[in-house]
Amino acid sequence: MKNILVTGGAGFIGSHVVRHFVNRYPDYRITNLDALTYAGNLENLRDIENKPNYRFVRADITDAPAMNELFQTESFDTVIHLAAESHVDRSIANPTAFVMTNVLGTVNLLNAARAAWDGAFENKLFYHISTDEVYGALGTEGIFTEKTPYDPHSPYSASKASSDHFVRAYHDTYGLPTVISNCSNNYGPYQFPEKLIPLVINNISHRKPLPVYGKGENVRDWLWVIDHAEAIDVILHKGEIGETYNIGGNNEWKNIDVVKLLCSIMDRKLGRNEGESAERITYVTDRAGHDLRYAIDSSKLQNELGWSPSIQFEEGLEKTVDWYLQNREWLERVTSGEYQTYYDEMYAS
């Protein structure tokens, strides 16, 4: 029996984490706290919203009094903290929002947990979800381990690095029972189409240009989002307090190769001529400070806690494309309104 607060559970990864815990652990109580920003969508959780062990609270983690009150009244024993501003390009356009949610919001949650738990830390856990981007950028060689020094370059990764430091500081200073995991790029159903893979799927569907930054040579290590949710489960139950675990797919791809693979999968599934979609690949101005390569060494998690990724990238991408093609209304709804304005501004030049 656990009483778990998941923050950011209406977002991409958070909704998979909430679904995983609600379905797998019927006797755990799962509270999903989310502000429902542009990236939060309760439709992502329609299939589990009426389960007796699930409930939703709309609140903003930048609101310290609201966080304190919730922790005082709810007796949470575990926090899985995912709520964040998560998109690098938005962080370049508006860094302050990232400081507010990712840094201040995290500190508010740490304070609320510390006050509510009041030194009675047995069977308590504050689990902070972070990214491999805190480690900076690799050249063509090398791999991030848990010991790689932090070297963030974007306002997004700087804000996540800062939040990681606060989590460690609360462990080291106040003895708060914390654990952190740093994961590589996720892909799969319910990802907001501002991120590379769903954006390209959406644009291929609509026969729109496929924007590739710079020369498309940047490398990301892609992980199936449900494998991330599994890893979070394993770390939550078996991870050691105060430790950090890297999570990755051991699956490095150049952006241009991801886009080409998506084009060929979708041409086949949509009955188009092979090569039609790839003609719409358009090289656009590179992202400022664009990290060249990320690659994660997750051997600590694999060897010590026994987790490993379950599916190959090609299979995961097929499943992802199938999901987006079968859920066109979801895509239509999230690409209307605020997102359309953002898209027009981002890709105007």
- Nearest distance, CB of residue 276 and ligand TYD, angstroms: 20
* Residue placing its CB nearer to ligand TYD in the complex, 102 or 218: 218
Of 34, 77, 133, 227, which one is the catalytic site residue?
A: 133
Q: Shortest CA distance to 162 belongs to which of 247, 104, 244?
A: 104
Pair 174, 159: CB distance under 8 Å: no
Q: For this structure, is 34 an active site residue?
A: no
Give the pairing of strands 125-131 and 178-183: parallel
* Contacts (CB under 6 A) with ligand NAD, residues 60-99: 60-62, 82-86
> 268: which 2 tokens?
């086949």
Q: Which does 40 bind (CB under 5 to 8 A by kind): ligand NAD, ligand TYD, none?
A: ligand NAD
The only residue of 106, 157, 178, 185 in contact with ligand NAD, by rule CB under 6 A: 185
> 36: which 2 tokens?
């429902």
Q: Which residues, including other chains, have CB under 8 Å from residue 37's CB and lie 6 or more apart?
A: 85
- Can you tell me the distance from the alpha carbon of 40 to that of 33, in angstroms, rounded to the nearest whole number? 11
- Can you tell me the distance from the alpha carbon of 68 to that of 2, in angstroms, rounded to the nearest whole number? 20
Q: Shortest CA distance to 122 belongs to which of 158, 176, 173, 71?
A: 176
Ramachandran quadrant class, 142 (left: phi over 0; alpha: psi -120 to 50; beta: rest) = left
The only residue of 101, 108, 162, 250 in contact with ligand NAD, by rule CB under 6 A: 101
Q: Nearest-5° angle of CA 146, CA 147, CA 152?
A: 85
Question: Rule CB under 6 A: which residues touch ligand TYD?
Answer: 88, 185, 195-196, 199, 211-213, 218, 220, 255, 287
> What does the per-residue mask of binding to ligand NAD show for 213-252, with x meaning CB under 6 A?
----------------------------------------
The only residue of 99, 129, 176, 229 in contact with ligand NAD, by rule CB under 6 A: 129
Is residue 136 a contact point for ligand NAD (CB under 6 A)?
Answer: no
Residue positions annotated with a catalytic role? 132-133, 156
Q: Which residues bind ligand NAD (CB under 6 A)?
A: 8, 10-14, 34-37, 39-40, 60-62, 82-86, 101, 105, 129, 131, 160, 183, 185-186, 192
